[in-house]
Amino acid sequence: MNGRPLTLTWEAAHCSAILETWFGGLETGHAVADVLFGDYNPSGRLTATFPRNVGQIPLYYNHKNTGRPYGGDPRVKYLSRYLDVPDSPLFPFGFGLSYTTFSYSDVRLSKRFLKGDETLAASVRVVNTGGCAGEETVQLYITDPVASVTRSVEDLRGFEKINLQPGEGREVSFKITPDDLKFYNGDLAYDWEPGDFVIRIGADSSRLHSATVHWSKGEAAGENR
CA distance 176 to 27: 38
Query: Hey, what CATH class is 1-97 in?
Result: alpha beta
Q: What is the average pLDDT value for the chain, to the nearest integer?
A: 94
pLDDT confidence band for 225 (50 / 70 / 90): very low
Per DSSP bridges, beta strands 169-176 and 120-128 are antiparallel
Whole-number Å distance between alpha carbons of 219 and 56: 44
Enter the pTM of the model: 0.92
d(CA 111, CA 197): 12
> Which tens digits make up the pLDDT trace of 78-91?
888 888 888 999 99
For CA atoms 101, 110, 47, 133, the dihedral sign is negative
What is the tens place of the pLDDT at every residue in 23-39? 989 999 999 999 999 99
C-alpha radius of gyration, the chain, whole number: 20
CATH architecture of 102-216: Sandwich (2.60)
- For the chain, which residues make up each domain, given as ranges? 1-97, 102-216
